[in-house]
Amino acid sequence: MTDRQKMAQGPSSPVFTREIVRRIIDGFFGDTEAMLRELEEAGFDRDAVVKHVRALGLTKQLLRQHNINPQQLSVRTCIGCEREFLSQGSHNRFCDACRPRS
Ligand SMILES: [Zn+2]
């Protein structure tokens, strides 16, 4: 199967790759509407994108609470449970649920 055929097969459930999530994060802290339109054109369902944003814990409150630089946000795989989560820096290797408490 060629890549083109794979693309044609997948518009109903495109994959949230790291690159797409990066775009979502940038869009969320910038021009959210433009980001949503762009992803819709790429075959993403708007509701699915919004759900994915929520699943990552990406909220405006998060930005305000922690004074986060969006450039430092990235999606990582938790070394505890191996789920993807929103990391606030290279030191951040655990999701909220797995983060060791002191
Ligand atoms: Zn975890």
Has residue 35 been placed in a domain? Answer: yes
The parent domain of residue 68 ranges over 15-87
Distance 40 CA to ligand 1 centre (A): 30
Has residue 3 been placed in a domain? Answer: no
Q: Residue 10 in contact with residue 43, Cβ under 8 Å?
A: yes
Has residue 98 been placed in a domain? Answer: no
Has residue 95 been placed in a domain? Answer: no
Distance 20 CA to ligand 1 centre (A): 21
Distance 95 CA to ligand 1 centre (A): 4
Q: Residue 73 in contact with residue 57, Cβ under 8 Å?
A: no
User: In which residue are the tokens 């969320």 written?
Assistant: 28
Has residue 101 been placed in a domain? Answer: no
Q: Using CA atoms, how far apart are residues 93 and 86, in angstroms rounded to an integer?
A: 10
User: Two tokens at 19?
Assistant: 């690159």
Q: Using CA atoms, how far apart are residues 92 and 95, in angstroms rounded to an integer?
A: 8
Number of domains in the chain: 1
Has residue 49 been placed in a domain? Answer: yes
> What residue type is assigned to position 82 of the chain?
E
In this predicted model, what pLDDT tens digit does every residue of 62-83 receive, in sequence order?
A: 767 666 777 778 888 899 999 8
Has residue 78 been placed in a domain? Answer: yes
Has residue 22 been placed in a domain? Answer: yes
In this predicted model, what pLDDT tens digit does every residue of 14-65 receive, in sequence order?
A: 888 888 988 998 888 889 999 999 999 999 999 999 988 888 888 877 767 6
pLDDT value, residue 10: 47
